[in-house]
Amino acid sequence: MTSAGVRRRVLLLGGTGEGRVIASRLAGSADLEVVTSLAGRVRDPRWPEGEVRIGGFGGAEGLSEWLSANDIRAVLDATHPFASRITRNASEACLATSVPYAMYRRPPWRKQPGDTWLPVRDLDHAAELVPTVGSRAFLTIGRQAVPAFDRVKNVSFLVRSIDPPSGPLPPHSQLLLARGPFDVEAEVDLMRTHGIDVVITKNSGGGQTYAKIAAARQLSIPVIVVERPPVPEAVEAFDTEAGAVDWLRAFGGGTAP
């Protein structure tokens, strides 16, 4: 317990498996009270330990007000590597309120021998490229990103997401609802069954969905890989859960600056 006899409150922006692990490791802290925020975009989310808040904040301004009203001492952003909007809002809100801010980002996937990767800067670039690469695409980029491909008419898509996409599907598409983790053998069978000749993915990192990368390598299928948005400048970032946990614990123990 802190010298004032009150547990210090910190905000964990979650929604990832690593965010749940971080919340779990801090759940028994005597000095720290972790509030995990989930965006609420998945219908059946996996709940972390401890206090949970669901829904948006109303942009950077709304988050600034919430941080002040809830006496938040630090914010750890452990959202998806492609959740650029909440990352931007969080960094701006913390700067405006002088609340310490750091990020956890799981390491990206790295190209391995035998991989055929076609890096692209964003989803629009991927949509432009895919017709030049194949005619039967396995689209695994999350439900919110699917509408970027709604104008691609000469490619058949197998679209996989946890929940139905939030916008229009490509003209020629089949929807598959599934949640990882996936295994390599099943991914190989899926790609063979559907005659997949190109995979489209974000470089999300982690083990939950890496099997599609390994399966594409095994089948010599090219992979269009959307590169990650950059981490905001001058922001402390961790690529291990232990580093992120230690950073938050410092605020409970009073050793943080």
What is the arithmetic mean of pLDDT over 51-62?
A: 90
CA–CA separation, 34 and 32 (whole Å): 6
pLDDT in tens, 116-151: 999 999 999 999 999 999 999 999 999 999 999 999
Residue 47 has pLDDT above 90, yes or no: no
Under 8 Å between Cβ of 106 and 18: yes
Decide: 144 and 84 in contact? Cβ < 8 Å. Answer: no
Report yes or no: 210 and 140 within 8 Å, Cβ to Cβ.
Answer: no
Quick one: CA torsion of 234, 236, 240, 245, rounded to 10 degrees?
-170
Mutual angle of helices 211-219 and 184-193, in 10-degree steps: 60
Which 8-state DSSP code applies to residue 4? T
Average pLDDT, the chain: 91
pLDDT in tens, 74-110: 999 999 999 889 999 999 999 999 999 999 999 999 9
CA-based nearest residue to 59, from 41, 95, 35, 85: 85
